[in-house]
Structure 1
């Protein structure tokens, strides 16, 4: 594996070949470097030893060119992988399998990587990522000549929050088709640990994509949902009453009432007359999963986080928020959890509106929504978070909850004594049980209650395959055709998953049993509606028994001691 190490403190670089037969991909490499070489678990999360490992997978098929970022998460404390579609191709074009960013620059720096040439450019943190992208594509054209390259940037959120993300727009579609390495706080690490505001990468190496007709036919069949509906248009009609509204409050209502709310607020407002155009993330890919309307991309989870989850059901307002948040470089999913908890606390008088100098309170009553008011307050809070005015709201949710005394309103998985991670926006036990990496799909994410032992085996199987997808730079929307082709990687994946857990243990970031009332409420409601026999009407003691039995089998399946 050919790796370019860039030390931004010394403004130097070096090439290394790592030929460990167990290291098959970027996540393997990231775990190895963080655990053995840099030992970042023993440092502060924003220490320069928290290196950013950026890499590409080994395959040449469409849907397998994601750029993978690996780093220690300032949110959950363990290692995290976050990906950007198409970016891996440009790592390969520069001639590398991976790039490692180490050290901390004295001044903000932008990296331009072309083959074996690197420019260290003094550059302030972008206040608007999309404006800076346009400027840089013009400015760097002389450096790259006619060679293909792609840019990724962090924004204001990287400075003022722990959930800053890394943003990269598709070439020629800046601000319309942005892709985001969103979860885990990679943008915050890039800026706070290394003072790097972004990078461009490309070069003269050829990247051929296998366009075999039989393979393309198979890809077309298994990516139908993403091509024809996308996640925003396709997920809500399937979720129906399981749609999460207003900081999980809707889930606590009877199913019949949830169905009425779905009909009124989701079908009647959110997805009514939804019309979209389709593009790819930049890859030569048949899924064409990027759906945009009025020049704003709509994916389910970011739109859910800045939409129904915070009581906004008007797409115009949601698109405005999404574009703003992406331009500031903040994870819309984690941010949505922060705003949702604060909104509920404000609406109930637990936090005074004077705390944020508000004239009005948000509406968090599912029966009496007010999209316009919630949008105006959310936009105001987002701008205040980005500027640093509302410093506390840039911390992780667990710390925010403690400072405002609102633990009972929050949903997250506690990690160690100070870290946490919010689940993806699905009402699923698999996303909040103690899996090896939260904030992703390293588990089952359906609304089901199965016996703990059988469910643990299902979740462990998904952990292994989802790990391999990230590790090998594969888009998970292609999992239907590719998982059968990568089964030979399973045993190596299990080895590195055990190392991933070893890192979490050394970093004091092991996921622990749920500590908030709201988390326990939605878990109990899930058992009530989907459980049967001994797992139907359960109390706290019985739920704890389930957690422990599931954990034992899950760890056993993955070889974690």
Structure 2
């Protein structure tokens, strides 16, 4: 078996098939790293250069009967971090694999907005076609089509316009929305297609969003959609294709029944009887409670008693209505598009509800009413934004107004936000949802000069420009714009915001953050010990993504991944392989001026410092109280040194 990849040059409208031995390329991330670092050397040029290949691919187990193995990984140079980044979307490979290859790479820049069609037959790739769409036509579709707008409207239009092609190939379109063309926060969006109803499957929408891959596809390559499918199937051993053989093979490898192992590993995401709910939203809120990040992470400064009272309000007004509707009444659960017993997509009144999108425009900005936040999340999704990044942007801008760094008219909102956590008033706080909706629409339309800056440059660069533009306000308040934002800086201009957890794991010096390639538990420990835990998770998560496995299946898949590769005739130390590829990501980012740098933001620093106090790390609490910055630099630099030793690289990969 070989890993098959298709290089598509959208400027020349040409394509080239490449095949790699599995000891060369084990999966889509390997392929993406090899292409960027060795072939196109995209680090030499601007991330807006057409050499910034967007790689989208499945793992080598796609097409098998294994549960959870049809995730697609996307590799690209991010317009946010300025370095190599990886994002993923679930279930898409289940239909994508039929196009005749495991992965595609988009290079070049189309002369007009383009839709790329890839058809596979039993022999492999049969055809690649390019269909132009006029900008005004694309805008009219985004404005509204088939009862939807944005990315959802574009996918519905593709289904209706190219129905014969989609029905024959079983293709699942991957599209971008308006956010991808107008901001650097654009996601790739793919909603599963119901071939019987000729419509989108409500609740089975997926987003490859972190780092802005949609913005790369749109702004760098001028591509609006990829429609790939067909009848090709990889040549896999019968052990992976016959369910009874597979069950025996996996059961023997695990030492327990396959079905039981999968059920046990995915309990949180399907249904956890301890909470009477499931999915990330259903479990995270009752699990984390007073450790939840609230009011743009200002909760880290609150006494535990206050945080507990706010958590009680969240449970009563935000979580319970979800639990009652989804687990006691309607019980609408979906998958990402592949057969999977986890059914992790929990649908509330027609909308898929996950923790992070609903946290970002929920409790993070004080909104604790599901009917309020669902409108904002739906707008974010249809416009095609990265929901985590846009959650940070909204919280940062709202607090900037709340603190007096900005006026409401500077960002086009109708009134001042209510962000006082001591009010303990759900009705008052929930008014922020309408302001968030105004901001989402304002960002995609660049309604004000401030919003234009943020949309085009991101939080870090915009904050520094705003420091100069509003120097009098900054001076009077003794507060910089970046001090209200939470991000890890990369190089001169890049950055990445963390996922919504109170943890050091997204703010330590690692080459790829904003994803779960870290230890994101609420913990604080000696930097050397913490580096070991982050290192292990980074490699394991790399291995899962590179194999195309959903991390919700990590509880069983990680244990036998090497054994599964043996089915394909590959005998490899996958930890060492992941370590080598991770080193290459570091190498790329160093060349691209995207080294992780010490924290610039006061709020970001305090995320780590306050956690030491919260968890009773008395020695570090004492150090931080005497000289916070010096002590934090010590902790951070010791982490970097330990991480470098584990990886076998020079500690200069990170900058103080």
TM range (shorter): over 0.9
CA deviations on 1:388-438 (whole Å, 9 max, x unpaired) are 323123131102222333111111001111110001101111221011211
What's the offset of the Cα at 1:531?
A: 4.2
Q: Aligned equivalents of 1:333 and 1:290: distance in 2? A: 18
What's the offset of the Cα at 1:19?
A: 3.0
1:399 paired residue number: 461
Please list, as runs of the form range in 1=range in 2, the aligned pairs for 1:310-459 lying within 5 A after superposition.
310-368=365-423, 370-389=428-447, 390-394=451-455, 395-405=457-467, 406-459=481-534
CA deviations on 1:142-173 (whole Å, 9 max, x unpaired) are 22453321111101101111110000012234
What's the offset of the Cα at 1:529?
A: 1.5
2:18 paired residue number: 16
Distance 1:381 1:144, change over 3 A: closer
Q: Aligned equivalents of 1:388 and 1:239: distance in 2? A: 36
What's the offset of the Cα at 1:293?
A: 0.4
Distance 1:22 1:492, change over 3 A: farther
Flag structure 1 segments of 5+ consecutive residues without an equivalent: none
Question: Is 1:259 matched with 2:320?
Answer: no
1:513 paired residue number: 598
What's the offset of the Cα at 1:272?
A: 2.1
Question: Is 1:493 matched with 2:554?
Answer: no
Question: Is 1:202 matched with 2:197?
Answer: no
What's the offset of the Cα at 1:521?
A: 1.9
Q: 2:75 aligns with which of 60, 64, 70?
A: 70
Question: Structure 1 residues 165-174 or 211-220, which shifts more?
Answer: 211-220
Query: Normalized against structure 2, the TM-score is what?
Result: 0.83
Q: Aligned equivalents of 2:282 and 2:259: distance in 1? A: 24
CA deviations on 1:31-89 (whole Å, 9 max, x unpaired) are 11001111111111111110011111012211011111110111111111111111122
Question: Is 1:99 matched with 2:104?
Answer: yes
What's the offset of the Cα at 1:20?
A: 6.4
What's the offset of the Cα at 1:279?
A: 0.9
2:617 paired residue number: 532
Question: Structure 1 residues 327-336 or 89-98, which shifts more?
Answer: 89-98
What's the offset of the Cα at 1:250?
A: 1.3
How many equivalent pairs are there?
A: 560
**Equivalent residue of 1:536, what SS?**
helix
Q: Aligned equivalents of 1:200 and 1:106: distance in 2? A: 19
Query: Normalized against structure 1, the TM-score is what?
Result: 0.97
Question: Is 1:221 matched with 2:264?
Answer: yes
Question: Structure 1 residues 174-183 or 205-214, which shifts more?
Answer: 205-214
1:523 paired residue number: 608
What's the offset of the Cα at 1:445?
A: 0.5
1:178 paired residue number: 205
Q: Which has the larger radius of gyration?
A: 2
Distance 1:359 1:302, change over 3 A: closer
Flag structure 2 segments of 5+ consecutive residues without an equivalent: 121-125, 143-149, 195-199, 235-239, 248-256, 272-277, 327-331, 468-480, 563-572, 651-656
Q: Aligned equivalents of 1:244 and 1:474: distance in 2? A: 29
Question: Is 1:546 matched with 2:595?
Answer: no
**Equivalent residue of 1:486, what SS?**
helix
Contact 2:490/2:595, CA 8 A, preserved across alignment: yes
Q: Aligned equivalents of 2:155 and 2:83: distance in 1? A: 30
